[in-house]
Amino acid sequence: MKVIHVDMDAFYASVEQRDRPELRGRPVVVGGDPRSRGVVATASYEARRFGIHSAMPCREAYRRCPEAVFVPPRMAQYVAVGRQIRAIFHEITDLVEPLSLDEAYLDVTDNHLGEPLARTLAVHIKARIKAELDLTASAGVGPSKFIAKIASDLRKPDGLVVIPPERVEEFVATLRVEKFWSVGPATAKRLHAVGIRTGADLRARSAEELRALLGKHGAFLHGLACGKDERRVTPWREPKSKGSERTFAEDVRELRVLLESLDEQAERVLRSLDKLERTARTVTVKVRYDDFTTITRSRTLATGVGDARTLHETAADLLLHATEAATRPVRLIGVSVSGFVHDDGPTQLPLPGV
Ligand code: DCP
Ligand code: MG
């Protein structure tokens, strides 16, 4: 497997410096107001020299560098840039697994450019991000996700580190356990307590010994230390529908109760559609009667369902006119939407977790 991990440098701050040239070369802190209780989302590399970092209270950041420029985040802009970055990735391979707005794994073992050298692809991606978006990214190349991710972090900013398979062993040997995927402060502490500080220390122990110490996790870490990481790059797939359903504690005969439940569910479904930045044209109502017979009734609208009210009204209409709800007791009721249309233009790539 050939994996590239790409991570943008000081992402939010770099976008601000790009869009506001007067901020270039200056310490920039993206986050809350320095007088507020907010925390730092990220800091430009100029600000990091003062010891400012993500998750630090803004007040502390101000104390460390009063001349820093504090900028409120513009999420919509970062989402838009994240989408542009992702579009570049998708020109290389379909196997893109985003970890956040500014970070993704790419499995380039087979790629759309037919390029055998992952390093060449990483150079190409960085160059395109620079040329088209005027931003810098760091990339790591390796035979697994684990290696690629650590590599991308080694020479930030604007870094490129390639760890070929034959160098994995020595690379992992010198890694501190804190750097290992899945090792948080608590695990690190337990490992330190028994004298395990590096990948080499992990390898020197048997898988059984590590299992005795940390359970399954221990065996997994032993595998990582031996260069074993079988995790695939799994692209995020857009769901084909979004729905909600509710089983009642007791079968329901009153229409009012069914309609109230539909109302609640319509809200919920719309919220998840908003998250996906999608609207949908087909509304489906599902009803399960007291004898477990289950029916679905759908209607496709001319345009996308834009608000909870339209969704609720369509669902209620289906329930009243196309089902036997209320004349028969109902055990479960649900509403779902499908037939997604894009909110703003058909060329967008979906963004998970935003
Ligand atoms: N972020 C945040 N809060 C955090 C960490 C990150 O809001 N505690 C946001 C701001 C970052 C973005 O996510 O710009 C990406 O996070 P990274 O960890 O990749 O950090 P940066 O891209 O800012 O810097 P680096 O160059 O170290 O990757
Ligand atoms: Mg980053």
Please list every protein residue whose CB sits less than 6 Å from any atom of ligand 1. 7-12, 41-42, 54-55, 100, 102-103, 156-157
Better pLDDT: 186 or 341: 186
Mutual orientation of helices 75-92 and 118-133 as an angle, nearest 10°? 140
The residues, any chain, with a CB within 8 Å of residue 204's CB and separated by 6 or more, are none
Please write the tens of the pLDDT for every residue from 50-93: 999 999 999 999 999 999 999 999 999 999 999 999 999 999 99
What is the average pLDDT score of the chain? 93
* Residue 236 confidence class, pLDDT cut points 50, 70, 90: confident
* Residue 353 confidence class, pLDDT cut points 50, 70, 90: very low
- pLDDT value at position 35? 84
pLDDT at 239 over 90: no
Average pLDDT over residues 299-319: 91
Q: Considering the domain 3-10+76-166 in this protein, what is its CATH number?
A: 3.30.70.270
Q: Which two tokens stand for residue 344?
A: 């703003």
CATH topology for 13-72 is MutS, DNA mismatch repair protein, domain I (3.40.1170)
Please write the tens of the pLDDT for every residue from 121-145: 999 999 999 999 999 999 999 999 9
Identify residue 291 by its one-letter amino acid code: D
The beta strands (E) that lie in 169-261 are given as 241-252
Residues shown for the chain: 354
Identify residue 81 by its one-letter amino acid code: V
9 Cα–ligand 2 center, Å: 5
* Residue 346 confidence class, pLDDT cut points 50, 70, 90: very low
Q: Which CATH architecture group holds 241-342?
A: 2-Layer Sandwich (3.30)
- Domain positions in the chain: 3-10+76-166, 13-72, 168-225, 241-342
Nearest CA to ligand 1 atom 24: 10
Nearest ligand by distance to the CA of 159: 1
The residues, any chain, with a CB within 8 Å of residue 101's CB and separated by 6 or more, are 11, 78, 79, 81, 82, 351, 354
Q: Which of 16, 97, 103, 178 is catalytic?
A: 103
Top mutation candidate among 9, 30, 42, 79 for ligand 1, by most atoms within 8 Å of CB: 42
Please write the tens of the pLDDT for every residue from 165-181: 999 999 999 999 999 98
- pLDDT value at position 350? 52
* Residue 342 confidence class, pLDDT cut points 50, 70, 90: low
Nearest ligand by distance to the CA of 12: 1
Record the pTM. Answer: 0.76
Q: What are phi and psi of 311, to 5 degrees?
A: -65, -45
Ligand 1 nearest-atom number relative to CA 40: 3
Q: Which CATH class is domain 168-225?
A: mainly alpha
